[in-house]
Amino acid sequence: MAIANNLPLPEHPMLGLLRINRQIKINNEAYTSDFYMIGLKKVKAGYVLYGRTKFDHETGSMIFIKPRQVMEMRNLEFEEDGYILLIHEDFLTGHSLHEDIQRYSFFDYETNEALHLAPKEEKIIWNIFHTIEQEYNNTEDEFSKEIILAGIHSILKYAERFYKRQFINRKQLSGKTVTAFNKILQQYIKDGSLNENGLPSVGSLAKILNISARYLTDLLKQETGKTAIELIHIALINEAKNRLRKKDKTVSEIAFDLGFENMSYFSRLFKKETGMLPTSYMKKL
């Protein structure tokens, strides 16, 4: 990326830090890398493409990209200062962040789910970035890597907090998504899709809603206290209870009709949600 766009080469083979200003333009074809990317920038023109959607000047100010994620940058121009931080996955080896970074779900979000920072939040991120930048440009010593990794960890923790705020502030939009999710899930259960396609997955329902599976799960968790898969399980078991009440089919037949190929899995899930096995539930009725 640096050579192709006449940008300065990184100071470290496994860590890159690029300051962005109005004079910089970036234009890259689709590529993948072994780096995590954290970007804080406001795009004036052009776009970043990864996943299924574009990041443009209307879509927020902070994005997170994980290794081996295909991305494309086309004719990017910027409104104001920003930065791109590139961290090779091997740079994290031996540090707790090597495992911790994988739990931050926003690395799996789509570009249209970028983080919108309030001015106070942006100032906090910039302050951390300045600390990382100072260590990056200083002569390396025994403390440099630890300080840089601590800064990266702080950015991720703050991003997690700010995303939660974003979910709350967009409550009306979030509420519509929850309603749409429940409607699609119920339709899937009622229209025979279970027989044709098997159990619904978070990914397939998220695709219908045009959002990423991780973003959908985090949004639902914030709004309902349940993850997407938990809500799917609840809906399936509620439908199972309705069908068991009719007593016109065996438990095995009902499980198969609901898309369960494994009877023991259905029984375990039913017991988890109701406290009893489906056979006991039917007898109780």
CATH of the domain at 89: 2.60.120
Alpha-carbon gap, residue 29 to 34, rounded angstroms: 16
Confidence of residue 269 (pLDDT cuts 50, 70, 90): very high
Final residue in a domain of this structure, among 153, 169, 185: 169
Q: Tabulate helix, strand, coil % of the chain (nearest 5).
A: 55, 20, 30
> What is this structure's pTM?
0.68
Q: Are residues 212 and 80 in the same domain?
A: no
Tokens 């121009």 label which residue?
77
Are 84 and 101 part of one and the same domain?
yes
d(C-alpha 24, C-alpha 85), whole Å: 16
Band (pLDDT 50/70/90 cuts) for residue 161 is very high
* Confidence band, pLDDT 50/70/90 cuts, at residue 230: very high
Alpha carbon distance 68, 208 (integer Å): 25
Domain assignment of residue 221, yes or no: yes
Q: Which of 135, 169, 203 is the last residue of a domain?
A: 169
Burial class (CB in 10 A: 0-12, 13-18, 19+), 63: buried
Q: Are residues 47 and 165 in the same domain?
A: yes
| Sign of the four-CA dihedral 179, 194, 201, 221 | positive
30 pLDDT band (50/70/90 cuts)?
Answer: confident
Listed in sequence order, the residues at least 6 apart from 64 whose beta carbon sits closer than 8 Å to its beta carbon are 36, 37, 38, 39, 104, 106, 107, 109, 115, 159
| pLDDT digits 0-9 by tens, 101-120 | 989 988 888 777 788 888 89
> Which residue, 169, 191, 206, sits at the end of a domain?
169
Which residues constitute the domain of residue 268? 172-284
CB 67 within 8 A of CB 35: yes
Same domain for 31 and 162, yes or no, is yes
Number of structural domains the chain divides into? 2
CATH number reported for the structural domain that contains residue 233 in this entry: 1.10.10.60
For residue 268, what are the contacts with CB-CB under 8 A and spacing of at least 6?
none
* Mean pLDDT on 31-39: 84
**Residue 46: inside a domain, yes or no?**
yes
Partners of 36 in the β-ladder: 87
Residue 146 has pLDDT above 90, yes or no: yes
